Amino acid sequence: MDFALTEDQQIFQRMVRDFATNELQPVAAQVDDEEKFPAENVRKMAELGLMGVSIAEEYGGSGGDSVHMVIATEEIARACASTSTIYLASVSLACYPIYQFGTEEQKRRFVVPLAKGHKLACFALTEPGAGSDAAAIKTTATLRDGRYVLDGTKTFITNGAEADIAVVFATVNKSLRHKGIISLIVDKGTPGFSVGKKERKLGVRGSSTAELVFESCQVPVENRLGDEGSGFKVAMGAIDASRINVAAQAVGIARAGLESSLAYARDRQQFGQAISGFQAVQWMLADMATHVDAARLLAYRAAFLKNQGLPYLKEAAMAKLFAAEAAMSVTTKAVQIHGGYGYIKDYPVERYFRDAKITEIYEGTSEMQRMTIARQLIG
């Protein structure tokens, strides 16, 4: 059993860490404060090959694997959680199912520009009345003359306002529930496809979360992923894999909170000494560090299993559940260690606290993760 990263992975980690520290971290507060989509961050990540880190070179990627993706996500999230959310929505959620389930023509047409960072994507599954119950979606796809006619509304779609490509899930027959769902790749600019309301959020405020509206939107049948009725499998496959990366995102946010707290505790003086000398603070720091390490190891284990082609559903759910709750615990303690300064925007820990919460919600809530784990245990 080897807990060390390979030399290649260590080199990759240093590269992403240096990039994130020097390029992403300095603008993170501005991105959050202005609710500004960091287009320049995305461009720079594309130049480094990060937008296709786990995609084969023949499809425009860097040829890395799931562990490389976890490494990149943690480092990006530590520097700027908003940028990591944009990154995961395009790379992990939207590009992944096209790469896994797409035809050769679909991969050449859609995966290559996404992996090279020339285009951005979004994953459109959630609806006003269908969140955790994905089989309850109401957006319809009616086949007419070789085209699917999409009608419906999607909500809470990350990258929805900026994406060039949307992976959209709809039903051909509501009575079939999950067996009637299909997945369609829809280009921005397709008549009948528009962006609706943009949400204002607690955290990850630099990433857009938008409503997508489809009104008699015609999509060629060749843009369908997989067979008719396989859309639910496509969606769940993407979400299961992306949970590993959300766990890594949570680790990155938690690590940022821990590192800020360590620096502050060493510097802050009270009662004639640094507060790092007080046992109450030391115990909080110890718990924070333990949670970060444990969460990271769970994410690495799930990524390793995925790389080996082994079952990883339970392990991915465990990683996301633990890492998300660890991020909330660590960032809460980070605010507490900073005291009053932790509650104001002059220090970044209040942002980490706000950013951490979403990891307990998207790609399946913590409650849904517990259901998944329990079902895998019980059989």
Using one digit for the tens of pLDDT, what is the confidence trace for 52-81?
999 999 999 999 999 999 999 999 999 999
Mean pLDDT, the chain, whole residue set: 96
Residue 94 φ/ψ, nearest 5 degrees: -90, -45
Q: Is 24 helix (H, G, I), strand (E, B) or coil?
A: helix
CATH class of 122-229: mainly beta
C-alpha–C-alpha distance, residues 231 and 173, integer Å:
12
At residue 128 the predicted structure's pLDDT band, cuts being 50, 70 and 90, is very high
Q: Enumerate long-range contacts of 36-40, CB under 8 Å, 24 or more apart.
A: 36/206, 37/86, 37/161, 37/162, 37/206, 37/207, 37/208, 38/80, 38/82, 38/83, 38/86, 38/206, 39/162
Active-site residue, 162 included: no
Domain covering 233-378, topology: Butyryl-CoA Dehydrogenase, subunit A; domain 3 (1.20.140)
- Sorting pLDDT into bands at 50, 70 and 90, what band is 134? confident
Residue 135 pLDDT > 90: no
Same fold, 7-120 and 122-229: no
CA distances from 80 to 142, 227, 366 (A): 41, 38, 23
pLDDT of residue 315: 98
Residue 83 has pLDDT above 80, yes or no: yes
Identify the pLDDT of residue 105: 97
Confidence of residue 133 (pLDDT cuts 50, 70, 90): confident
**pTM (predicted TM-score):** 0.96
218-262 pLDDT, tens digit each? 999 999 999 989 999 999 999 999 999 999 999 999 999 999 999
Predicted local distance difference test score (pLDDT) of residue 3: 84
Distance between CA atoms of residues 88 and 30, nearest Å? 21
For strands 224-225 and 269-270, give the pairing. Answer: unpaired
CB 19, CB 44: distance < 8 Å: yes
What is the per-residue pLDDT for 186?
98
Please state the rounded mean pLDDT for residues 186-200. 97
pLDDT more than 90, % of the chain: 95
**pLDDT score, position 314:** 98
Q: What is the pLDDT of residue 131?
A: 83
pLDDT digit string (tens) for 32-53? 999 999 999 999 999 999 999 9
Q: What is the pLDDT of residue 1?
A: 72
By CB atoms closer than 10 A (0-12, 13-18, 19+), residue 361 is middle
* pLDDT tens digits along 286-314: 999 999 999 999 999 999 999 999 999 99
Which residue of the set 259, 315, 363, 367 is catalytic?
A: 363
Cα separation of 160 and 15, whole Å?
Answer: 29
Reference 54, options 3, 100, 121; nearest CA is 100
pLDDT at residue 368 in the model: 96
Confidence at residue 340, expressed as pLDDT on a 0 to 100 scale: 97
pLDDT at position 99 over 80: yes
Q: 109, exposed or middle or buried, with CB in 10 Å at 0-12, 13-18, 19+? A: middle
d(CA 320, CA 374): 14
Residue 132: per-residue pLDDT: 84
**Dist CA 163 CA 347 (whole Å):** 32
Q: How many CA atoms lie within 13 A of 167 on its CB side?
A: 31
- Under CATH, which number does the domain 7-120 receive? 1.10.540.10
Q: Alpha-carbon Rg of the chain, whole angstroms?
A: 21
Percentage of the chain beyond pLDDT 70 is: 100
Domain boundaries defined on the chain: 7-120, 122-229, 233-378
User: Regarding predicted confidence, which is higher, 310 or 136?
Assistant: 310
Across the range 139-152, mean pLDDT stands at: 96
